Structures are given as C-alpha cells and as structure tokens.
Structure 1
Amino acid sequence: MSRRHSSQAGNTGSRYRKRVAGATSSVGAFLAFGMAPLAAAPAAHADVDFLGDLLGDLVSSWSVADPGDAAATWDLDALFGAAGPGSAADDPFSWTAIMDQWFYQPLHAGVQAWITSDFGEMVNNSINGMFGLYLIGNGVDGTALNPDGGDGGLLFGDGGAGWDSDAAGVDGGDGGDALGILGNGGAGGDGGAGADGGAGGAGSWWMGHGGAGGAGGAALTSGLSGGDGGDGGASVAWFFGNGGAGGAGGAGGNGVAGTFGNGGTGNGGAGGSGGDGGTGGRSGYAWGNGGAGGQAGVGGNGGEGATGTAANPNGGNGGSAGAGGSGGVGGIKFDGSLGAAGQDADGGNGGAGGTGGDAYQDASGFLGNGGRGGVGGAGGSGVDGGDGGAGGNGGAGINGGLGGNGALGGTGVQTGGNGGAGGSGGDAAGSATVAGVAGNGGTGGQGGASDTGTAGNGGAGGHGGNGATGDDTIQTTGGNGGTGGRAGNAASGIGGEAGTGGDGGTGTFKGGNGGTGGIGSAGAFGGGDGGDGGAGGDATGWVDATGSTGVAPGTVYSQGGNGGNGGASGGPAASLTGGSGTVPIGGNGGAGGNGADDGISIGGNGGAGGQGGHGAGAAPGGDGGNGGNGGNGTYIGGNGGAGGNANSGGSTPGGDGGNGGNGGASAGATSGTLTNTHAGDGGRGGNGGNGTADAAPGNAGNGGNGGAGHGIADGGNGGNGGNGGSGDQSFGANGVSGVARGVPGADGGDGSTGGIGGNGGNGGSAENGNAGNAGNGGNGGNGGIGGTGGAGGTDPTTGLGQAGGNGGDGGAGGAGGTAGQAGEATGSGSDGSAGTDGNQGNGGKGGNGGAGGAGAAGTDGSSSATGTGGDGTGGGKGGVGGNAGNGGTGYVGGVGGTGGAGGVGGAGGAGGDGGTNASGVGQAAGDGGDGGVGGAAGSGGTGGASTGGGPDGADGSDGTGGAGGVGGAGGTGGAGVDGTSPANAAGGDGSAGGAGGDGGKGGAGGTSAGGTGGVGGTGGAGGSGGAGGDGGDGGIDSTGNGFDGGDGADGGAGGNGGDGGAGGTSTSGTDGSDGSGGALGSGGAGGAAGQGNPGQGGGTPGADGTAGNNGSDGNPGS
C-alpha cells in the first residue's frame, strides 16, 4: 500500500523537510502540469503525459478557475442557496450534509479505492519515486514507537490514525494531516488509562474533513482523573470540509475502599474527576460544519469507609466523589454562510460519595461510632449540565455517622443539572451506658443554573438515621433530616424546583426533626417552588429509670420530632421582567412526629409553610405553603405549623396565604411533675399577598383546628386566620393626562378591594378537661387608594380648557374572616371560648380629581401702519376640575378625595398699535381682550361608611376655583406727523396723535361649592396715547420778511385701564378675591410749536406757532 510514515516526530520527518526544501522546482513543475489545462503542460515533463491524462482534468476543473471568469462569479450562495440560520451540524437535510453525502464522500471513496488498489499502489509508487516526493498515498497509522499518524500525500491521501495507547498514563497519538488537494485528517488515538486522547489531524486544503479526537482513557487507578478527550482536527479546506469531533473524556477512577490495615486510617479514598471533552475542530472556509464537542467523562465514586475493628472501633469515613468533566466546545464555523458551528457537549455527572463504614461490633453490639458519608461530586458544565452526585450514607454504630452532602448540579446552556441527593444518616444502636444519636441526613445539592432553558432541581435532603427501638431501656434519638437543595436559577428560562427536606429518623427517646425544604429559584419565565419540609420522626418510648425528664421513675417517656419548615419559593429573576410562567408556591411544612402510644409522650410540632414568591410582569404572586400538622402525644399534642405568607404579583393577583396545620391530639396522661396535659394548638393562617396598581390582593389562609383532648387533657386552641392582603397603597391606576392631546383627562381607576381574612380554626374538643378556644378570624385587607384623575388639556381649536378626570373610588376593605367554633367538652370540663370575627379592612382613600385644563391665551390684535390697531381677543375659559372619588367602605371608612382645581382662564390678547393715515393723522390703537373665566372647581369625595366600630371616613374637600385670566393690554395710539418747513412759506401745523386702546377686563375667578373661589384676573393696562406732531418752521419771502411757524398738534388721549375680574363665589367656603384694575394709559405728548423765521435785511420776523396740548390720561381700572 502507498503509506507514509509520520512527519511529526523522528528522523522520517526530518528527512522529509530537507527534501521538500530541495525540490521546489520539481514540485512547481508537477503542480503546474497537474492543475493547469493540458495545453499549458511544461515541455520538461512531456514524457509523463499519462499523469496529466490521469489527474489533469480532475484537478484543473475543480481547483483552478478559468482566467476569464471573474472572482465574483464564484457565488456559492446563488448556486446552492445559503444555509438557513437554523442549520445544525447534524441536520441530514442541510446543504452541508447533502454536499458531504452526494458529492464529497463518493469522490473521496473513489480516490481511496484507487490509492488502496494493487494497480493504484503500483502507479502511485512510480509517481512518488519519479518526483522524489510523497504525492499520492495515505499516511501510516501510528504505533507504540511512532505514536503519531503519518501525513497524507501532497496531492491526495488521508492522514494516518494516531496510535491507541494501551499503556496507562500514556497519551494517544495525534492523527496525521492530509496535506494535499483532497483527503481527511487522521483520527487521534485513544489515551491509555487516565491519559489524554490524541488530537485529530487537519483535512486537505481544498476538500477534506478534520480527524476526530481520540477518547481520553478512563482512570483505572483509584482516585486519578480521567483523561481529556483530544481536540478534533481542523478542516483547512477553502471549499468544503467538516471539523473533526472532539474526543470523549475518560471516567474518573473510583476512590479506594478504606482499610485499617498497614496503618491505614480506614477512610475511603476520593474519587477522581472525569476528563473534559475535546474541542471540536473548525469548519472549512466556504462550506462545512464545525466539529461536535466531546462528551465529558463522569466523576469517580468515593471509596467506602472501612468497617471498624477491635483496635479501631469507629467506622471509617466515606471518600469524596470526583467532579464530572466539562463538555467539549463545538468547533467554530470559520467563515461564509454555508454550514454551522459544532454542537457543544453535555457535562458529565458527578460521582457518588462513599458510604461511611459501620462501627466494630462484637457479641454485645457496636463498640464505636459509624463513619461519615462522603460528599458527592459536582456535575460538569455543558449544553446540559451534569447532575451532581449523591452524598454517601453514614455508617451505623453506637452513634450513627452523618450523611454526606449532595453536590451542585452543573451549569447548562439549555438545562441545568440536578443537585445530588443528600445521604441518609447512619443508624444508632446506643448502649446501656451511652445514649445513641443517629446521624443527620446530608444537605441536598443546589440545582445547576441555566442560560436559556430550565434550571436544575435541588437535591432532596437525606433522611435522618434511625435509632434502635428494640430495647426500650436504651435511649436513642433519631437523626435530623437534611435540608433540601436550593433550586437552580435561570437567566432566560424557568427556574428549577427546590429539593424536599429529609424525614427525621425514629428513636426510643426522641424522633429526629424533619429537614427544611430548599429555597425556590428565580427565573425570567417563572420561579421554582420551595421544597416541602420533611416529616418529624416518631418516638417509640424509652424507660426513664431515674425520672430525669420529670416523670415518675420507671415511666416510659418519648417525644416526636418537629416537622421541617417548608422552603420559600422563588420568583422572576431580579434583573428581568417575569413572564407568565409557573406560579411559585412556598413549600408545605412537614408533619410533626408522633410520640409513643403509652407512658408520657409529646407530639412534635408541625413545620411552618414556606413563603410564596414575588411575581413580576405577568407572573402572579406565589401562594404560601400550608403548615404541617402537629403530632399526637399521650401528654401533649404538637402544635400545628403556621401557614406561609403569600407575596404580591405583577399584573396578576397576589397569592393566597397558606392554611395553618392542625394541632395534635392528647390522651390526657400525666406523671410526676408533668401534669399540664393538653392537645396542640392549630397553626395561624398565612397572610394574603398585597395587590399592585394592576392587580387585586390575595386572600388569607385559614387557621388550623386545635387538637382533641381526651381524658383530663384540655383541647387545643384553634389557630387565628391570617390577614387578607391589602390593595395597592400607593395609588390605583391614575387617569391618563389629556394635556399633550388637548382632550379631557381620563378618570382614575378604582382602588382594589382588600383580600378576605382567613377563618379561625375550631377549638379542640375535650372530655373532662377544658375544650379549646376558637381561633379568631383574620382581618380583611385594606382597600386600595383610588387613582387620581388625569389633568385636562387645552382644546387647540376652541382654546377652551378641558375638564379634569374624576378620581377613582377607594377600594372597600376586605371581609374579615369568620371565627372558628369553640370546642365542646363532653364530660366535666368547660366548653371553650368563642372566637372573634375578623374586622373588615379599612376602606381606601378616594382618588383626587384631576385639574382642569388652562384656557388658551387670546390672540393679540394686529398693528397697522396706516389704520387703527386691531382689538385683542379674549382668553379661553379654564376647564372644570374633576370630581374626587369617594372613600371606600370598611372598618374605618376611607377618606374622600380632594376635588380637582379649576383651570386657569387664558390671558386676553394685547391690542394692536395704531398707525398714521394718508393725511398724517395718528390712528387709535386697539383695545386689549378680556381675560378668560377661571374653571369651576371639582367636588370633594364622600367619606366611606364604617361597617364596624370605626369612624366613617371624612369627606374630601372641594377643589379651588381656577384663577381668572389677565386682561390684555391696550395698544399704543399712532403718533402724529410733524408739520412741513418750506423755504418760502409759513411752517405747516403738526397732525394729532391717536388715542391709546383700553385695557381688557380681567376674567372672573372660577366657582367652588365648598372650597375657595378662584381669584379674579387683573385688568389690562391702558395703552399710551400717540404723541402730537411738531409744527413746522416758517420760511422767508423775497423781500426778507419771515413767515410764521406752524402750530404743534395735541397728543392722543391715553387708554383706560381694564377692570379687574370678579373673584369666584363659593357656596360654603371662601369667595375668591377680586382682581386688581389695570393701570391707566398715559396721554400722548403735545407737539412742539414751529419757530417763525427772523427775516433778513430788516424784513419783518415771523411769529412762532402754538405748542400742542398733552393728551389726557385714561382712567385706571376698578
């Protein structure tokens, strides 16, 4: 076969590089011969025309464009169509897949068939020998001595595969490169145990795929990490080629089991981490897909702890597990539009923690304590994050070992990995001299985060270990349940669900407490629920020989474990708007454990419900979780857990509060100093979530029922109901302002009704003890505040101010919850007391009315150059203020809102100035326009009625009337024209000045029913009179006599000031003050007299003219 040894290591590569350097002319001649049209074959190689016949047409037609073709004519998108944005590397119907299957693969198969055939080998060897170069042929596969695969021929051929290592710790060989026109890179070899895989070789420069990376070797030695997968080879082809896939990571080695032999500690060894997947190779330049990333390796499990020995009675601890590897990154799409980037791979799962070893035991029982369970390994990151490993279980002994914690789930682009479950606590046997305590369960691992999909769920908390219960003279306590794992968050997806708390274990003396539920997550399209709390463990009874618990010596005593609290739920991500996703609900509290049926026993308390999550956007508020029921006891029953409080929503209603748990029953047993026997009380109901401006509040949860008392035990009291959520206390939806659009303001929205209070729980029944009291009903939520009416605008056509919007009514207070029924005693005991119904919530305040729109200002009169000035127009009337909303009904009535203020009247327009007519007489100025009338005030809202013992709400005050508009100023009269001064005649008389315009009247103030009337507008100032013209100077006649000077004209009269507007009236309030009168206009100055000519040569002088009188001043406005 035509095979080439490696050029990447050893002497072969060295010789190859030297020969390439010395054979440039031969290669150039051959490539010119093989890749150009046959007519251009060099004469120096005319004796090998068979090579041109064999390869010339193929190579020249596919690799060299016709010199007459412009580069722009190579438009692959136009020929085949661009791959769509959704094209994936594994899409069988993509253009890349079609190109590969129907064009490249047949072509490649044909070339390989020629290279590997007997005749092909004979011809290829002749050609290679003739040119002294390895032109056609495949690279040789790697071996242990030469691990890397050889390169393919310079024209055709695949790279050789890298050596698959069979030696631990030795990497696989790299695949050889395909150096020619067409060929695939060689696959990387698999790594030996714990070693990395080899990298794939590069594909040919025209068409060819990169070689796949080799797989990393799984670790065979305990605790070592798995090898990383080799990177996929790049496709360097400019025309077509896919990148090689990355190799898979190897699995981490499991931890070695613990031993006490040879000085060992007995602890299990740690597991090794999984290897990372290799990176996919990049695609070809024009066409092709990037290679897929390699799958990550899983983490190794932790080793088990050794069982205790006589010399080492305590069990060994379990080993920690190894983390999963990270998934390989897909190869990039190098350029162009035909193809896709490679797919990223999933993260590897973390290993499980090792189990703790049991303690040593002989015929008498355990002599030591159990070992601790190992911690799980974290999940690796990738497209889908790997799951976190579970914690190991604790070992058994006199005292049980702790359960190992679960591990964190891996981060995923699409799906986050789930957190690992916590390990269960080890069982405890105790002894006659040692009170045995079982191990606590491990904490669940947190779910992995997600970028775009669903985040991982939190792992469940491990269950508490059990104490031995076969011998009631040995005191044992059950282990506590582990806390549930927190849910993973999602930046642009749905948050995961939180893990549940583990159940408490059983024991003779005391049951273990249930674990707390995990906290829910945040997600852009819905947060995750909180986890439920674990149940408390039951107790079977322990003989208290000494009476240390307060019982008579030798009495059986026991106590059930408390239930775990439910976890709070999540909500939308803080930096994002919540979508209409899942409703985030708080976890339910766990039930309390029961005490033993005989002797003196106390039931465990129920766990509290978790708080509901906060909604945003279209996400509702989360409901609170229900409280757990209390456990039963012969002496005291456990109390029920409180219901969780709900939270507010976005544009949807707030959540409902959770119901309180029921109290546990009591059998009425007493002993020693323990004589106050009673059943458990019911838990309080949770509060409803508050409303928002766009949504109603939630209702409250009901109180739990009190437990039943038997014998002489008192019944438990019923739990109080929760309070209903309050309507939005900022404002209801405010009316939209009409100012920008010149329309009336919109009405404000009504405040929402408060949420309903929860019902009280029923009191527990009794026989010869006192029955339980009824629980009180919860108070209803307060009504929301009505929205403010929008401000009115100004009509652009009429200039009238538009009415302000009416304020919304305040919301009614929510109905109070009904009290529970009092417990009844069937024997000699007393009945319980009745509860109190909850109060209705307070009514919300009425919304304020919107302000009326201002009237538009009048238009100024036009000034004239030759005639009288135009009058200014009157200002527009102000809009009516909106009426206020009424206060809502409630235990305390809501206050009525304040009426809206009337709009301000528009200012009158100024009069235009007078001109001068053709005769030189100054013309009168225009009068100023009257100011607009102020708008009437809105009415105040009526106070809400009280439905309980509180006061009625106060009525709101009426608004203030709008101020009248200012009168327009009068214009200035036109000035008279000066007389002429001829050379040989008497001086001309000046013309009179025009009268000033009168000022406009101020607008009347707006009216108000109970508020203050509007202030009248100020009158406009009168205009000034025009100045009279000066007389002209006299001339001189031919004899030297002087002519008389002309008379000056009188100045124009000043305009009268406008009267002030009347103040607005008020029916029961204060009238508005009148406006001030406008200032008078000054009369115009009289014209100066013309001077007589003094004459010449003894001639008679002319007399001076008479000066004009000043115009009279106008009257001030009243």
Structure 2
Amino acid sequence: MFSQSSQFWQQSTRSTRTRAAVFLGGAGLITAVPAVAFLSAPTAQAQPEIACTTTIPRSCSASGAELANRLTAPRDPLTALVNNPLMDLAGMVPVVNVFIGNGMDGNALHPNGFNGGILIGNGGDGWNSTTPGVAGGNGGSGRLFGSGGRGGDGYSDIRTSGDATGTDGGRGGNGGVFRGSGGAGGDGGDAVTYGATATAGHGGWGGLTTNGNGGGGGDGGYAYGGSIVTTDPETGLTTVQVGNAVGGDGGLGMPSGPTFPNQSTGDGGDGGDGGYAIAYGGDATGGDGGRAGNATSTGSGGEGGNGGYAIAVDELSVTGITTQTFPGVPGPVTVTTGEVIGGDAVGGSGGSGGVSYEGTGGDGGQGGSATAAAGSATGGNGGSGGHNWVGNINGHGGDGGNGGGASATPGGQYTVVSTPSGSEISSTLTPAAGEGDATGGRGGTGGNAGHTGGGYGSGDGGDGGDGGDATSDYKNATGGNGGFGGHGSLGGTGAGQPQDAANGGDGGDGGDAQVRNTSDFGSTVTGSAEGGNGGKGGAPGTQGSSGSDGQGGSATGGVTNDPGADG
C-alpha cells in the first residue's frame, strides 16, 4: 500500500434614451452620434451615503476620511467614462465598437482580450487558460484613450502522478497612445503532483504605456511536489518516491509613460511576486520576484516583487528491521535502520525596485526564506532599491529588500532502538556529507539619490536591506551580509531650488548565524557559525549626513564562531 504525503446592469428610471439606443444598436442600426449620447446618459449606481445640512457642508453623516476624499480628491473623467458599464455594452455593438467601447474579454477561441475602440475604450482581459500547455491570453490594448486589459492566468496543472507544468500568465495590454495605463500581467499557473516534479508558470509582464502607470507583473504560480511512500506489508520496509517543486518567477513591471502631452506623473509597475515551492523528499526552489518598472518623470519607481519561499520536507525510508539484545535492557529490542531523505531549499531573490527620473525610486523586493529538513538551505537575496536619477527635493532612493532567512538540518543514515512495545530507547543520525548548511540571503543595496550627480542637490539615499539569518543543526551557518546604503544627491541647487539636506541611507544589518542540536536524532555538532557583515552607510550629498553603518551579525553554537563586522 502507499500513501500520498452577468453581472446585471440596472438602468436609471431616467434612461429612456438609453433603452432606445440599446434597442437600435441590437438591430445594427446604431451610429456613432447616438452612441456618444447614450454613453453620457446617467446610470444608477451605489454611492456612499452623505447627508449634508447645507450647500457648504457644516455637518455630514459621512466619515471624515470619506468626506475628505470626496471633497478634495481629483476626479478623473476619463477613468469614470471608460469604467462606465455602458462602455462595456458599446464594446459588444458591431461597428460602434470599432470607434468606442471597451474591448471584450478573451475566450478559448480568442485567448487575447480584444482592443478598445480606436477613439476610447479599455482593452479586454485575457482568457484564463483551462487547456494544458497553453498560456493565459494577453490583455487587449487601449488605442487613443484607454488602459490595457489584464493578462489571463496560466493553466494550473494539478495531478496525482507524473511531472506537472503550469503555464505562464499572459501579458498585460498596452495603454492608449494619448492616455491610459498598462494592464497587469496574469498570474502563472500552479503545479501539483506526487512522486515527480512540479514546475509552476511564470507571471506575465505588465503592459506598456505612453502616458500613465506602467502595468504590474503577474505573480508566479506555486509548486507542490508531494512524495509517494510505499510500505511492504510483509517486511515493514518502506521506499520513498520523492517530489520536487519549482515556483514560478514573478512578471516584470513596466515603465510609466514618457512626457506626452505633459510630463507624466505615472508610476512604474510593480514586479510580480515569485511563487512558493514545497517539496517532500526532493528539492524546492522558490520563484524570483519580478523587476519593477521605471518612472520616466516625477512618478515613483515600482516596487520589486518578493521572492517566493521554499520548503524541502524530509521523508524517512526504512531499510532494515531486526531484533537484537541491547546493553542494560532486559529482553530483545527492535533496531530500525533507514535514511532521512530530503533535498535542498533555495528561496527566490527579490526583484529590484524601479528607477525614477525625478521622483522616488521603488523599494527592492524581499528575498524568500528557505527551510530544508534534510538538506541545505539558501535564502534569497533582497532586491536593490531603485535610484532617483537626477536629484529632487521630493525624490529619494528606494530601500533595498531584506535577504531571506535559512534553516537547515542534514539528512543521513539513522538508527532507532526501541522496546517491543514501541518505546524509543535511543536514536542516532550519521549526517550525510554536504548537507545541512544554512546560508542567509544578502540584503539589497539602497538606491542612490541624484544618481547622475545632477538636479537640485536634494534627496536621501535609500537604506540597505538586512541580511538573512541562518540556523543549522550540526553543520555550518552563515548569515547574509547587509546591503549598502545609497548616497545622497550630489547635484547643485539649480533652477533656484533650495538645497535641502541630502543624507546617505543606512546600511543594513548582517544576519545572525546559529549552530544548534535540536533534531529528533542525536548527533555531534561539527559546523561553524559566521555572522553576516553589516552594510556601509551611504555617503552624504552636497550637504547632509552619512548613513549609519549596519551592525554585524552574531555567531553562536558552532565549533568556531565568527561574528560579522560592522559596516
């Protein structure tokens, strides 16, 4: 035997003209002029209840945050127009949808979302794949005015045996030429199997834009590789068919648009997160976070995607069961021998933050953690923070992401001595060579302010990320190094701007390292502990202070212990 570890659109009572237009459109007789008329017709929609006593509000029943938002937040007429349900309806009317209307979503016969109307309209979303081996559809694009549609999700391959492979998410559609943001990428498909390898799909890239926000990358799919343990009913011996898992990488975020017709304040798209990976008996590898998109003007760079975590679970095989005598124990004892089987775990690296020309650089993504119960573990590195390119009073470097932590225990040959009733007398493990080391990920470097040395001499450097901690049973533990802080802006005052302080970013702390003996099996500590070095603080700009140096990580429990140096 074996075990396996329509949407309803409600019209307004004042929409007589709307109903007539829809009727004519269904007959194929509608023209562009009445189409514009019915697109501007009022529609019934839920709104937060706000009861004010006078025209100039003195007392309202709305919350303070809601009231402040409605009174002060700028309203984007384009967004309100293209997100109107009537634009979806226009996108389904022949002839009209060539010029105005949101593109229809993709389907199995046409996976990619349809483009918006030539004049105005968002692109439709890509199809979420339900077919093995086929990726998600790409989002449709806006043409002149309109945002790109979201990419469809990749196919998730869920099975009980054999290799499983998820497919990639579709790419987000592009924003319109005059205005519109790029669509988000679709998520990668997941993968699940037993006794084989599960490989998840990657997230789709975000869509491009001319004058808007860059599309964010889709998340990578997760992977789960279970084991198949077979037990001989006569002898009690067991064998293990291991599973492996590889998480999908996050998709790339795209840059914000350039400067047409005015300087774009759009932000770069965020990178997608890497997918996690869990494997029983085999290797587990988390997906990397996606790199973020840059901002071409005063917008902020996108945030780097986080790396996926990885867990490699151990399994026990049984290679022998014998009855023997044991010193100091009356009567026979049962001696069970076998192997602790497991693979390595590697966390995904964080994606780098996006650069901003005049605004703030995006933060780097966090490195994924790694845990290996019978192998070695390596945490993912943190992503670097994005630079502020020319220096600006309100522009700073992005912070580096933290390195992922790591925890490891070696596998090897084990022996368990127990009484006939099953009470354990002793257990020992002979660790396998080359297994059980734990290494924390490096912290990402902080972004620089005024990276080119130009600009106004203002803006702080980003902080470096902390190194990941490392813990090992018996073997070596090495903490990750902290990231360096970014430097402050070095430019001149320029354009009559005041020269504000331009401080360097702080360096990240080094990761701690610990060697211990907490395994279920007794063994002897043979490894050393080495703390990670602290990152150096960033240099100041034309005026300002240097960033603080990061502290070195501690080191305990090893045969030798070497703390990390301060930055």
TM over 0.5: yes
Q: Which amino acid aligns with 2:409?
A: G
Distance, in Å, in 2 between the alignment partners of 1:680 and 1:308 is 54
- Judge conservation of contact 2:381–2:443 (CA < 8 Å) in 1: yes
- Which residue, 377, 388, 393 being the options, matches 1:621? 377
Q: Which amino acid aligns with 2:213?
A: T
- Judge conservation of contact 2:164–2:193 (CA < 8 Å) in 1: yes
Give the 3 Å change call, closer, same or farther, for CA 489–308 of structure 1 in structure 2.
farther
Q: What's 1:354 paired with?
A: 112
| Mapping of residues 234-273 of structure 1, within 5 Å | 262=27
Q: What's 2:46 paired with?
A: none
- Which residue, 309, 332, 346 being the options, matches 2:96? 309
Report deviation, 1:417. Answer: 2.2
Q: What's 1:410 paired with?
A: 157
Distance, in Å, in 2 between the alignment partners of 1:678 and 1:813 is 40
Q: Which amino acid aligns with 1:461?
A: G
Q: Deviations over 1:313-343 (max 9, x none)?
A: 2232222327xxxxxxxxxxxxxxxxxxxxx
Q: What's 1:946 paired with?
A: none
Q: What's 1:484 paired with?
A: 220
| Mapping of residues 433-448 of structure 1, within 5 Å | 436-448=179-191
Report deviation, 1:679. Answer: 3.2
Report deviation, 1:573. Answer: 4.3
Q: What's 1:253 paired with?
A: none
Distance, in Å, in 1 between the alignment partners of 2:208 and 2:244 is 34
| Mapping of residues 679-698 of structure 1, within 5 Å | 679-692=460-473, 694-698=474-478
Q: What's 2:397 paired with?
A: 638
Report deviation, 1:716. Answer: 2.0
- Judge conservation of contact 2:402–2:444 (CA < 8 Å) in 1: yes
Q: What's 2:349 paired with?
A: 587
- Which residue, 125, 134, 139 being the options, matches 1:393? 139
- Judge conservation of contact 1:760–1:777 (CA < 8 Å) in 2: yes
Report deviation, 1:701. Answer: 2.1
Q: Deviations over 1:1026-1071 (max 9, x none)?
A: xxxxxxxxxxxxxxxxxxxxxxxxxxxxxxxxxxxxxxxxxxxxxx
- Which residue, 429, 448, 452 being the options, matches 1:664? 448
| Runs of 4+ deviating beyond 6 Å | 304-308, 574-578
- Judge conservation of contact 1:516–1:567 (CA < 8 Å) in 2: no
RMSD: 3.4
Q: What's 1:460 paired with?
A: 203
Q: Which amino acid aligns with 1:369?
A: G
- Which residue, 369, 372, 376 being the options, matches 2:128? 376
Give the 3 Å change call, closer, same or farther, for CA 444–264 of structure 1 in structure 2.
farther
- Which residue, 296, 300, 310 being the options, matches 1:540? 296
- Judge conservation of contact 2:193–2:243 (CA < 8 Å) in 1: yes
Report deviation, 1:406. Answer: 1.8
Q: Deviations over 1:691-749 (max 9, x none)?
A: 22x223222222223234213562422322222222227599857xxxxxxxxxxxxx4
Distance, in Å, in 1 between the alignment partners of 2:190 and 2:254 is 23
Q: What's 1:605 paired with?
A: 362
Q: Deviations over 1:646-687 (max 9, x none)?
A: 2201211112222322322325745xxxxx922322322222
- Judge conservation of contact 2:174–2:209 (CA < 8 Å) in 1: yes
Is 1:559 aligned to residue 299 of structure 2? yes
Give the 3 Å change call, closer, same or farther, for CA 561–261 of structure 1 in structure 2.
farther
Q: Which amino acid aligns with 2:289?
A: G
Distance, in Å, in 1 between the alignment partners of 2:176 and 2:362 is 23
Q: Which amino acid aligns with 1:585?
A: G
Distance, in Å, in 2 between the alignment partners of 1:714 and 1:732 is 53
Q: What's 1:499 paired with?
A: 249
- Which residue, 516, 532, 535 being the options, matches 1:760? 535
Q: Which amino acid aligns with 2:203?
A: A
Q: Structure 2-normalised TM-score? A: 0.63
- Judge conservation of contact 2:488–2:505 (CA < 8 Å) in 1: no
Q: Which runs of 5+ in 1 are unaligned?
A: 1-259, 266-303, 323-351, 362-367, 380-385, 431-435, 469-475, 542-557, 596-600, 671-675, 736-748, 785-810, 820-1118
Distance, in Å, in 2 between the alignment partners of 1:467 and 1:653 is 48
Q: Structure 1-normalised TM-score? A: 0.33
- Judge conservation of contact 1:644–1:657 (CA < 8 Å) in 2: yes
Q: Deviations over 1:21-61 (max 9, x none)?
A: xxxxxxxxxxxxxxxxxxxxxxxxxxxxxxxxxxxxxxxxx
Distance, in Å, in 1 between the alignment partners of 2:218 and 2:398 is 22
Is 1:769 aligned to residue 517 of structure 2? no
- Which residue, 243, 252, 268 being the options, matches 1:512? 268
Report deviation, 1:627. Answer: 1.9
Give the 3 Å change call, closer, same or farther, for CA 540–731 of structure 1 in structure 2.
closer
Q: What's 1:201 paired with?
A: none
| Partner SS state of residue 450, structure 1 | strand
Report deviation, 1:568. Answer: 2.1
| Mapping of residues 929-1078 of structure 1, within 5 Å | none
Q: What's 1:422 paired with?
A: 170
| Mapping of residues 54-203 of structure 1, within 5 Å | none
- Which residue, 699, 719, 730 being the options, matches 2:507? 719
Q: Which amino acid aligns with 2:251?
A: G
Report deviation, 1:373. Answer: 1.9
| Mapping of residues 897-912 of structure 1, within 5 Å | none
Q: What's 1:1033 paired with?
A: none
- Judge conservation of contact 2:282–2:312 (CA < 8 Å) in 1: yes
Q: What's 1:980 paired with?
A: none
| Partner SS state of residue 522, structure 1 | strand
Q: Deviations over 1:564-607 (max 9, x none)?
A: 22222322247779845454232232232322xxxxx1132232
- Which residue, 543, 546, 553 being the options, matches 1:779? 553
- Judge conservation of contact 1:613–1:621 (CA < 8 Å) in 2: yes
Give the 3 Å change call, closer, same or farther, for CA 371–263 of structure 1 in structure 2.
farther
- Judge conservation of contact 2:482–2:533 (CA < 8 Å) in 1: yes
- Judge conservation of contact 2:169–2:204 (CA < 8 Å) in 1: yes
Task: Give percent identity, aligned residues only.
Answer: 21
Distance, in Å, in 2 between the alignment partners of 1:453 and 1:731 is 27
Is 1:728 aligned to residue 516 of structure 2? yes
Q: Which runs of 5+ in 2 are unaligned?
A: 1-24, 31-90, 228-241, 258-263, 318-339, 411-435, 492-498
- Greater length-normalized contact order (CA 8 Å, ≥ 6 residues apart): 2
Report deviation, 1:264. Answer: 12
Give the 3 Å change call, closer, same or farther, for CA 680–514 of structure 1 in structure 2.
same
Give the 3 Å change call, closer, same or farther, for CA 584–816 of structure 1 in structure 2.
closer
Q: Which amino acid aligns with 2:361?
A: G
Distance, in Å, in 1 between the alignment partners of 2:521 and 2:344 is 26
Q: What's 2:421 paired with?
A: none
